[in-house]
Amino acid sequence: MRMLMPWIVGAIVLLVLPIFFGGRSQLTIMSQMSITVVFALAYNMLLGQGGMLSFGHAVYMGMGSFLCLHVMNMSSFGSFPLPLLPLLGGVFGLLFAIIIGSFSTRSAGTVFAMISLGIGELMAALVLIVTVFFGGEEGISGYRDEGLPFFGIEFISNLEVYYLIAIWMFIAVALMYLFSRTPVGRMANAVRDNPERAEFLGYSARRVRFVSFAVSGFFCGVAGGLSAILFEIATESDLNVTASGVILLVAFLGGIGFFWGPIIGAVVFTLLQTVLGLQTHLWELYLGVVFVGMVMFFPAGLSGIIMAHVPAAKMGKLGTLVGPYLTCVLPGILGGLGLAALIEMIFHVRSGAEGEHHMVLFWIDFSTHDVLPWLVALAVAVIGIGLAVRNAPNFKAAWENASTLPEAA
Amino acid sequence: MDLFFVNIIDGLVFGLLLFMLSSGLTLIFSMMGVLNFAHASFYMLGAYFAYQISTVLGLGFLAGLIVAPIIVGIAGAGIERYGLRRVHQYGHVPELIFTFGLALLVQEVVKLFWGQNQVPYAEPAWLDFALFNIGENSIEAYKVFMILISMLIFGGLLYILTKTRIGMIIQAALSYPKTVEALGHNVPMVFMGVFGVGTALAGVAGVIAGPALGTFPGMAFTLGSIVFVTIVVGGLGSLWGALAASLLIGWITTFAAAYNFEFKTILLALGMEEPALIWDSKLRDLWTLTLPQIGPILPYVLMVAILVFRPQGLMGKREA
């Protein structure tokens, strides 16, 4: 029962979310989030659980997406229930992964990474060449509501689509979790950590990698099918190397060490992309800074940071961390925001229209040609980051104290 | 025939340019054991710094050629010292991901400072003339200048690596870092230096390629993956392999772009009949396919084929 709790809570959250966030765009964002969750978890099947770094994983999702759209454009689509479409996408992704995996999974490491990059570039280029199948630069589009009504539901409203995608996401996440608990999922971990030893135990490392790769391809295809349903279009940007890079970023941001890490990554990333993307043109810059900082200082990702609090919580020492958080992390965040304000102002001055001096930042309206706003932003940045750096040793000490057992007296 | 010689020269220019990037990258690979995704970003920084120095500040092309690579090299050494060395303790995959994130970050920073569009960085006026003619095609002096600079750098690199004491220490440190350290050499310092010089070389490539290929925020990603292909095809860690693969890929892409060979010819030779309404045919892409269209993907085909059939590359000794 204890093991089932997170799943029940998750299902209830998915069920009631539309009550609080029922707007059209909110529903779309949540649907997009769910698709990214499936894709990121499928990707982490390779990176986190199998130790294979892929730079062309969007290919399998994109292929699933394109093929599903072709199915949607068939004249017989009217007799096909839409909710089963992602399954078809999964089968397409699986078939494609079997073809590519048959030669790319021979070894992990650099060879695998480079083959995946090559395949990614090849497929992205093919999209523009093979217009019969990929539709060239416009891509392929279709209509989801032309399918066979499913118990009277035609999937016209965003709410119906959200529930369809959420249910698929829940099933896919559960299946991927169960896969990671099967013997073959465990062997993937073994091959990741020590392929030689796994071979001595009588397992073919290549075969284990191949199975992981194929299963991952299946779930990528499912994500592709869901994306075909949500956006009703597939283009080159769905399977190019940039899309593959994004999913690597998402998985790593969330943390590849825990099964649920990429879920957090997908949620946070989609929020950043949609919410921050509306606020600033420079969200990719901030994303880049956060990403590089994450790799340098917290390679375990967001889930790693969360899990690092567990030992302290178990010993009841979480309270001792509040002070250091307030004196170190909070000024750091404020300083970072000050720095961001400076960057935004530079950007506004450099690329704003001629004579356009007004800008609104953090709900404050001011002119970029006054000195005061620059001074304020600079002061916040310097003082905030200065305080954070000064209190960092304290923070570290408090942290070590909170996460270790007290000395036996 | 004239066109053939012109393409030989164009391919040589592009190949040598690739080599300036791949030589540094392959040295860095032998040292860290990790591919540096951000290598082409230093190439881009070289071009932008040179633009800033030569055009915006108006100090002239030569000033850019000398100063920009130095700044790039210092930046590269700093990133090795304060970024990569820190990430190294976490293992290979985080290192690779770090360089990948760095590449993204550099692109965004460049966009912040110089904007989304191509900047007007042009070759200097004193190199902007036709040096000689092949048939009716004139060869610009700038192309010959690019070839000369690249050859000069390759010669210098080869000399330093094989004939000088520093070169010996570098070579030894790449193969047996622990032994070299035990002999009293500062191996981390050597690595930082190699990284700095490698990125400075990429900077030089950017300075001279910026005017020819365009200076825009996407230039790193356009060339970056081709550079990877080059060192994988040539054999990771092999300088001569990098040279061979650079020239090979330079010529392949140039020739593929220059000859408008139509695949229709093959289909007709196979006895197939050209459909009257080409846009209704399922095979229309095959009928309209031309060599320049598939030119850009030939390097990737080559790389995948090499990785599948000869993972150590053309001249590499170890498996990638």
pLDDT in tens, A323-355: 777 777 787 888 888 788 888 877 777 776 666
Residue B138 parent element (H or E): strand B137-140
Task: Determine which helix (DSSP H) or strand (DSSP E) holds A141, and give its type and residue range.
Answer: strand A140-141
CB-closest option in B96, B112, B296 to A285: B112
The encoded tokens of residue B168 equal: 């010996």
**Per-residue model confidence (pLDDT) at position B277:** 66
Q: How far apart are CA B141 and CA B132, in angstroms?
A: 8
- The values of phi and psi at residue A148, to 5°, are -70, 125
Residue whose token pair is 């139509």: B262
CA dist., res. B234 & res. B315, Å (int): 6
HSE-up of residue B22 (Cα within 13 Å, Cβ side): 33
* Beta-carbon separation of A282 and B112 below 8 A: yes
The band of B281, judged by pLDDT with boundaries at 50, 70 and 90, is low
Residue A36 and residue A224: Cα distance in Å, rounded?
10
Reported confidence tier of residue B70, pLDDT bands at 50, 70, 90: very high
A114 and B303 in contact by Cβ < 8 A? Answer: yes
**For residue B271, is it left (φ>0), alpha (ψ between -120 and 50) or beta?**
left
Q: How far apart are CA B166 and CA A245, in angstroms?
A: 38
Mean pLDDT in residue range B308-312? 80
Task: Kindly report the nearest CA distance between residue A193 and chain B, in angstroms.
Answer: 12
Q: What is the pLDDT of residue B75?
A: 94
What single DSSP character describes residue A81?
Answer: B
What is the rounded CA–CA span in Å between residue B17 and residue A408? Answer: 65
- Please list every residue in chain A whose beta carbon sits closer than 8 Å to the beta carbon of residue B304: 115, 118-119, 122
B320 vs A contacts (CB less than 8 Å): 109-111, 114
- The angle that helices B187-213 and B141-163 make with each other, rounded to 10 degrees, is 170
Cβ–Cβ contact B311 with A under 8 A: yes
Residue A91 pLDDT grade (very low, low, confident, very high; cuts 50, 70, 90): very high
Cα B299 to Cα A48, A116, A241, A356, B213, distances in angstroms: 30, 14, 16, 47, 18
Tell me, yes or no, if B307 comes closer than 8 A to chain A by beta carbon: yes
**Chain B closest-CA separation from residue A164 CA (Å):** 34
| Residue A278: predicted pLDDT | 79
Q: In sequence order, which ranges of A352-371 are alpha helices (DSSP H)? A: none
- The answer to whether B68 contacts chain A (CB < 8 Å) is no
- Distance separating alpha carbons of residues B38 and B25, to the nearest angstrom: 10
Q: Which of A11, A369, A396, A109 is nearest to B318 (CA)?
A: A109
pLDDT of residue B120: 85
Question: Distances from the Cα of B309 to the Cαs of A121, A253, B228, B306, B319, in angstroms?
Answer: 19, 35, 18, 5, 12
Q: What digits encode the pLDDT tens for the residues B128-177?
A: 777 777 777 777 888 888 889 888 888 888 888 888 998 888 888 888 88
Q: Cβ of B97 and A252 within 8 Å?
A: yes
Q: How far is A158 from chain B (nearest CA, A)?
A: 34
Tens-digit pLDDT profile for residues A354-388: 666 667 677 777 776 777 777 887 888 888 888 77
Distance from the Cα of A67 to chain B's closest Cα (Å) equals 16
Question: Which tokens is B279 given?
Answer: 């846009």
- In sequence order, the 6+-apart residues with CB closer than 8 A to the CB of A84 are none
pTM over 0.90: no
Dig out the tokens for A171 from the structure. 């099933």
Select from B83, B115, B297 the Cβ nearest to the Cβ of A351. B115
**How far does B185 lie from chain A, in Å, by closest CA?**
28
Cβ contact B284–A131 (<8 Å) = yes
What are the strands, taking DSSP E only, across A262-363?
358-361
Chain B partners within 8 Å of A47 (Cβ)? 93
Task: Please answer yes or no on whether A299 and B94 come within 8 Å at the CB atom.
Answer: yes
Closest residue, chain A, to B299 (C-alpha)? A118
Mean pLDDT of chain A: 84
Predicted local confidence at residue B320, as pLDDT? 45
CA angle A52, A57, A60 (to 5 degrees): 125
How many Å apart are CA A50 and CA A101, to the nearest integer?
A: 13
The structure tokens listed for A156 are 């016209």
Q: Which residue of B has its CA nearest to A343?
A: B112
Q: Smallest Cα–Cα separation from A46: which of A55, A34, A59, A36?
A: A55
- Between CA A227 and CA A34 the distance in angstroms is 10
List, for residues A7-50, the tens digit of each pLDDT value.
888 888 887 888 888 788 888 888 999 999 999 999 999 988 88
Please check the confidence at residue A301 and state whether its pLDDT lies above 80: yes
Domain ranges across chain B: 2-217
Residues facing residue B132 across a β-bridge: B139
Cα A39 to Cα A43: distance, rounded to the nearest angstrom: 6
Q: Answer yes or no: do A132 and B285 touch at CB < 8 A.
A: yes
More confident: B293 or A220 = A220
Cβ-based contacts of A121 with chain B (< 8 Å) = 225, 297, 300
Report whether pLDDT(B62) > 70.
yes
